Amino acid sequence: MSAAPPRFYDELAHWWPLFSPPPEYVEEAEDLLPRLGPRPEGRRATLLELGAGGGSLASHLKHHYQLTLTDLSPAMLAVSRDVNPECEHIAGDMRSLRLGRMFDVVLIHDAIMYAIQPEDVRATLRTAAVHCRAGGTVAVLPDYVRETFEAGTDHGGHDAEDGRGFRYLEWHWDPDPSDCTYLVDYAFLLREADGAVTVEHDRHVEGLFPRADWLRWLGEVGLSAESAMDGFGRDIFIARHRETSAS
């Protein structure tokens, strides 16, 4: 993991609502919720998200769980607070965060892609394990595992009511298939409310590991895990505690 976040999670973070707004996560939330296991009776279930980013997915989960949202980037947490003002927000590194409490569900969405070395992934999974109560669920949703990665492009963006606009081209590619990373290059077209347009480039280095490694690392921190394809053709790892777990 880089000590400094990519520009999109720092100086450009205020554009996030026009890049990946909550309405784009409706179907993903509907797919994910049944996988998180039954919620307890007699109290509201709790969920900790590691690397919650701008809070777009969380905006759909908060109706079902009491959320604690964490992220390394203060700028992204500020975006999430606007979307989810009723939720707890905590700045912290998902590799080392220790809150001293446990949750019914610990979720790591695509922020796990910024764990670019095996030790980063293992440290993050250990964080998840120590915050998950007995009988709870840890859910990990990488964009790709090694077996499913294919180079390609994506594009999109939205307009704001104040006249601002955002468009992007995403290009994900792997210059060296022998290592455990790939690259995502973004080209952003940013239109201000006065009509001025600027162009920005942002490069993200992301981790890429075989499915078997994920399952082994989850086992190492005391979690019994299974892998399944979600409704969008991506691996999702659902794990639950064994009798003991790493601390």
Q: What is the CATH number of the domain that holds 56?
A: 3.40.50.150
Q: Which tens digit of pLDDT belongs to each residue from 154-207?
A: 999 999 999 999 999 999 999 999 999 999 999 999 999 999 999 999 999 999
Counting the structural domains of the chain, the total is: 2
Band of pLDDT at residue 244, cut at 50, 70 and 90: very low
Q: Which tens digit of pLDDT belongs to each residue from 149-159?
A: 999 999 999 99
Q: Is the pLDDT of residue 245 over 60?
A: no
Specify whether 17 is located in the same domain as 78: yes
Number of CB atoms found within 10 A of residue 247's CB: 9
Q: What is the pLDDT of residue 241?
A: 80
Q: What is the CATH number of the domain that holds 174?
A: 2.20.25.110
Q: Which tens digit of pLDDT belongs to each residue from 68-127?
A: 999 999 999 999 999 999 999 999 999 999 999 999 999 999 999 999 999 999 999 999
Q: What is the pTM of this model?
A: 0.94
Number of CB atoms found within 10 A of residue 36's CB: 20
Q: Which tens digit of pLDDT belongs to each residue from 9-28?
A: 999 999 999 999 999 999 99
Specify whether 63 is located in the same domain as 178: no
Determine the structural domain holding residue 106 and report its residue range.
7-145+209-241
Assigned domain for 2 exists: no
Specify whether 197 is located in the same domain as 221: no
